Amino acid sequence: MDQIYALKGNIFYTPACGQLAIYPESYLVCENGRCAGIFGQLPERYKNIPVEDHSGKLILPGLIDLHLHASQYAYRGLGMDMELLQWLESNAFPEESKFADLEYAEEAYRLFTQQLTKSATTRACIFATLHRPATLKLMELLEEAGLHCYVGKVNMDRNSPDILRETTEESLEETRLWLEESARFVNNKPMLTPRFTPSCTDALMAGLGRLQKEFQVPMQSHLSENIPEIHWVSELCPNTRFYGEAYHQFGLFGGDCPTIMAHCVWSDKEERELMKRQGVYIAHCPQSNMNISSGIAPVKSYLMEGQKVGLGSDVAGGAHLSIFRAMTDAIQCSKLRWRLVDQNIPALTMPEALYLATKGGGSFFGQVGSFEKGYEFDAIVMDDSDLPTTRKCSLPERLERVIYLSDGKPCAKYVAGQRLF
């Protein structure tokens, strides 16, 4: 591939947590799908390359959604008057069981993929359902759309309704077939997805641990989201001292197994130490944590103690696909935590939230989420002319208004150098 071009506009990114780099009306050069540099004027060697002119607009790294359920998109915004375990029984399980029907699954995943494509998200880690053909269909649709995602066929062999439960053998065999079949996709990769400990027997987890080693795939799940859930896990796994050990004992908790754990609202000291040691990613999903009354995760403390953290929409626990919305929810939640829980831990700042949404989560995908040289060229262009104000705003103010006020839809989007629209 010999592709080279530049975008012109107001360029923003976060080189480190809390830092905001701003290049007014500059050129961002893409060379073979990667960032080649930012320039006030194009240097001689680039002087004849094509320039896509987004002058006056804001250019940001594509946003990263580290945790969402494509199969729950249909009921976003509904059923928010329950806590997790009742919410799963009443909302998630009935909807997900419909994905046994490939025709329904295709319709639902097509709609989801269209909406994700229009959003500011360039990469996501996605839960499908336990159905292999439907999961492959989702991967096919994402691949056609030009998005770069990890997708998981969900595993569930206990504590779920008959129509949404596999036997242990079935679950492992279907997972193996799915891993083999998904090798045909280039940009969308499989990720092991045991739903959470209450849905998976030890035998299933042990089998997934073996598959992880054999196929060298990452894994994603849920951790310490809700207090009754945590009590249930300690009953189900009497040999463990804390929830994270239920995954760690099977080699499914970081280290050689790149891992994302959604929520971590209630992780205690030991669990946090293990996450840090193992390099486990935390997907912070503030809107879901509010909607299903899980609590306020200590996201600022996680940053201060050097954990790996990104943001998740957790649709449909979260009602909104927008990671801009996840940024403002994260900031607002962290203020409530400061006010109500611990005044020694300050709230998140806007540049910290942008870091979480870009480079923080993006690092799970490699060199992703920044415009530093060598990073994959994922960019979104935001037009703030439809957010009228009489005030003359500075560039950081314009960025803040886009984060708080925009509908989350960019006017142009690029993934690994490819323009999607």
Where along the sequence are the contacts to Fe ion (CB under 5 A)? 262, 314
Q: Which residue's CB is nearer to ligand GUN, number 131 or number 222?
A: 222
Q: How far is the CB of 138 from ligand GUN (least distance, A)?
A: 15
Given ligand GUN, Fe ion, none, residue 384, with its beta carbon under 5 to 8 Å by kind, binds none
Is residue 129 a contact point for ligand GUN (CB under 6 A)? no
Q: Which is nearer to ligand GUN, 92 or 217 (CB)?
A: 92
Distance CA(19)–CA(234), nearest Å, equals 40
For residue 69, what are the contacts with CB-CB under 8 A and spacing of at least 6? 92, 126, 127, 314, 315, 316, 317
Say if strands 4-13 and 21-31 run parallel, antiparallel, or are unpaired.
antiparallel
Using the rule CB under 6 A, is 330 a contact of ligand GUN?
A: no
Judged by CB under 6 A, the residue of 195, 272, 325, 398 near ligand GUN is 195
How near is the Cβ of 127 to ligand GUN at its closest, in Å?
7
- The number of C-alpha atoms within 13 Å of 358 and in the hemisphere containing its C-beta is 32
The pair phi, psi for residue 244, each rounded to 5°, is: -55, -30
Instruction: Establish if 288 lies at the interface with ligand GUN (CB under 6 A).
Output: yes
Residue written as tokens 């994905």? Answer: 99
Q: Write out the E strands in 304-378.
A: 308-311
CB of 206 to Fe ion, least distance (A): 23
Smallest gap from residue 359 Cβ to ligand GUN (A) = 25
* Residue with the shortest CB distance to ligand GUN: 317
Comparison of 174 and 314: residue with beta carbon closer to Fe ion:
314
Among 8, 54, 57, 69, binds ligand GUN (CB under 6 A): 69
**In this structure, what token pair is assigned to residue 187?**
């940009």
Is the peptide bond prior to 357 cis by the omega test (within 30 degrees of 0)?
Answer: no
With CB under 5 to 8 Å by kind, the binding choice for 92 among Fe ion, ligand GUN, none is ligand GUN
Q: Which of 95, 166, 225, 352 binds ligand GUN (CB under 6 A)?
A: 225
Our measurement of the distance from residue 3's CA atom to the centroid of its chain's CA atoms, rounded to an integer in Å, reads: 28
Residue among 124 and 381 whose Cβ is closer to Fe ion: 124
CB of 329 to ligand GUN, least distance (A): 14
CB 314, min distance to ligand GUN, A: 5
Could you tell which of ligand GUN, Fe ion, none binds residue 88, using a CB distance below 5 to 8 A set by kind?
A: ligand GUN
Tokens of 159: 């504590």
The minimum distance between CB 357 and ligand GUN, in angstroms, equals: 19
Q: Is-contact 205 172, C-beta < 8 A?
A: no
317 interacts with ligand GUN by CB under 6 A: yes
Residue 174 contact, options Fe ion, ligand GUN, none, Cβ 5-8 Å cut-off depending on partner type: none
Determine how β-strand 21-31 pairs with β-strand 418-419.
unpaired
* Least Å from the CB of residue 91 to ligand GUN: 9
Q: Residue 373: phi, psi to the nearest 5?
A: -55, 130
Q: Assess 315 for contact with ligand GUN (CB under 6 A).
A: no
**Residue 329 binds ligand GUN, judged by CB under 6 A:** no
Please state the closest distance from residue 285 (CB atom) to ligand GUN, in A.
7
| Closest residue by Cα to residue 317 from 265, 369, 366 | 265
Give how many residues touch ligand GUN by CB under 6 A.
11
Cβ atoms of 14 and 60 within 8 Å: the answer is no
* Token couple for 295: 């609590």
Quickly list DSSP for 57-105.
Answer: EEEEEPEEEEEEEGGGGGGTTS--SS-HHHHIIIIIHHHHHGGGSHHHH
Distance from C-alpha of 346 to C-alpha of 287, rounded to nearest angstrom: 19
Stretch that binds ligand GUN, among 43-51, 84-92, 140-148, 200-208 (CB under 6 A): 84-92
User: What are phi and psi for residue 343, nearest 5 degrees?
Assistant: -80, 0
Query: Under the criterion CB under 6 A, does residue 314 sit at the interface with ligand GUN?
Result: yes
Eight-state DSSP code of residue 241: S
Q: Using CB under 6 A as the criterion, which residues of the chain lie in contact with ligand GUN when the complex forms?
A: 69, 84, 88, 92, 195-196, 222, 225, 288, 314, 317
